[in-house]
Structure 1
Amino acid sequence: MNYPQRINVKEATWEFEPFPVVYFSLSFPELSQTFVFNEIRSIAELGGDIRVLSCKSPSENRSNLPNAYGYEDRIDTIFDGTTRSSRARRLLAAAKAASKLLIRNPALLPNVLLAAWSGDTVVPFSMKLAIAVRLQSHPDSIIHCHFGPAGKVIADLKKHGLVKSPMTTVFHGYDITQYIVEATDAYKTLFSEADLLIPISDFWRRRLTELGAPSDKIRTIRLGVDCNAFEYKRRVAVPGETTRFITIGRMTEKKGHRYTIEAFKALAERRPDLNICLDVIGDGPDLQEIRAITTGWQSNAKITLHGALAHQDVRAMLDQSHIFVLPSVVAANGDMEGIPVSIMEAMAMGLPVISTRHSGIPELVEDDLSGILVDERDVDALSAAMERLGSEPELQLAMGKAGRAVIEREYNERTQARVLMSALSKISSKE
Structure 2
Amino acid sequence: MKVTYFSLSFPELTQTFVFNEMKGLGNLGTDIDVVALSRPTDNVSNLPEDYGFGDRIRYVTADKRRFARMAVMAKGAAQLLSRGNIRALWRLLTSRDDEIKMPISLKLSIAAKLRSGDATAKVIHCHFGPAGRVVAHLKRLGLIDAPITTVFHGYDLTQYMDGRSPQVYRELFEQADLLIPISDLWRSRLIDLGAPPEKVTTIRLGIDCEAFDFKVRSVTPGEKIRFITIGRMTEKKGHRFTIEAFSQLASRRPDLDLSLDIIGNGPLLEDIRNLAQDLGCADRIHFHGGMAHQEIRRLLSQAHIFVLPSVKAADGDMEGIPVSIMEAMAMGIVVISTHHSGIPELVSHKESGLLVPERDTDALSDAMERLIMNAPLIQTMGFQGRQIVEEQFNEEKQTRALLLSFKRITEHPGSRSLDRPSVQE
Same fold (TM over 0.5): yes
Of the three residues 90, 115, 136, the one matched with 1:136 is 115
Cα–Cα, structure 1 residues 428 and 373, in superposed 2: closer, same or farther, change >3 Å?
Answer: same
Partner of 2:27: 45
Deviation at 1:252, TM superposition (A): 1.2
Of the three residues 143, 150, 158, the one matched with 2:131 is 150
Cα–Cα, structure 1 residues 349 and 205, in superposed 2: closer, same or farther, change >3 Å?
Answer: same
Of the three residues 126, 148, 155, the one matched with 1:167 is 148
Distance in 1, Cα, partners of 2:13 & 2:270: 20
Deviations, residues 53-85 of structure 1 (Å, cap 9, x unaligned): 121122222212111122201122335xxxxx8
Distance in 1, Cα, partners of 2:67 & 2:266: 35
Partner of 1:286: 268
Q: Counterpart of 1:385 in structure 2: which amino acid?
A: A
Of the three residues 242, 246, 251, the one matched with 2:228 is 246
Gaps of 5+ in 1: 1-18, 80-84
Identity of aligned residues (%): 54
Partner of 1:335: 317
Of the three residues 215, 238, 256, the one matched with 1:256 is 238
Deviation at 1:296, TM superposition (A): 4.7
Q: Matches of residues 242-391 of structure 1 in structure 2 within 5 Å?
A: 242-299=224-281, 302-391=284-373
CA contact 2:123–2:147 (8 Å) conserved in 1: yes
Distance in 2, Cα, partners of 1:218 & 1:144: 14
CA contact 1:120–1:153 (8 Å) conserved in 2: no
Q: Counterpart of 2:64 in structure 1: which amino acid?
A: R
CA contact 2:92–2:104 (8 Å) conserved in 1: no
Q: Secondary structure at the match of 1:309?
A: coil
CA contact 1:254–1:328 (8 Å) conserved in 2: yes
Deviation at 1:151, TM superposition (A): 0.4
Partner of 1:9: none
CA contact 2:60–2:113 (8 Å) conserved in 1: no
Distance in 1, Cα, partners of 2:161 & 2:281: 43
1:120 aligns with 2:99: yes
Partner of 1:29: 11
Partner of 1:64: 46
CA contact 2:73–2:104 (8 Å) conserved in 1: no
1:413 aligns with 2:413: no
Q: Secondary structure at the match of 2:44?
A: coil
Distance in 2, Cα, partners of 1:122 & 1:254: 29
TM-score by length of 2: 0.90
CA contact 1:55–1:78 (8 Å) conserved in 2: yes
Aligned length: 405
1:99 aligns with 2:74: yes
CA contact 1:169–1:194 (8 Å) conserved in 2: yes
Q: Secondary structure at the match of 2:14?
A: helix
CA contact 1:280–1:306 (8 Å) conserved in 2: yes
Partner of 1:393: 375
1:198 aligns with 2:173: no
Cα–Cα, structure 1 residues 253 and 135, in superposed 2: closer, same or farther, change >3 Å?
Answer: same
Deviation at 1:143, TM superposition (A): 0.4
Partner of 2:160: 179
Deviation at 1:420, TM superposition (A): 0.7
Deviation at 1:323, TM superposition (A): 1.0
TM-score by length of 1: 0.89
Partner of 1:214: 196
1:75 aligns with 2:57: yes
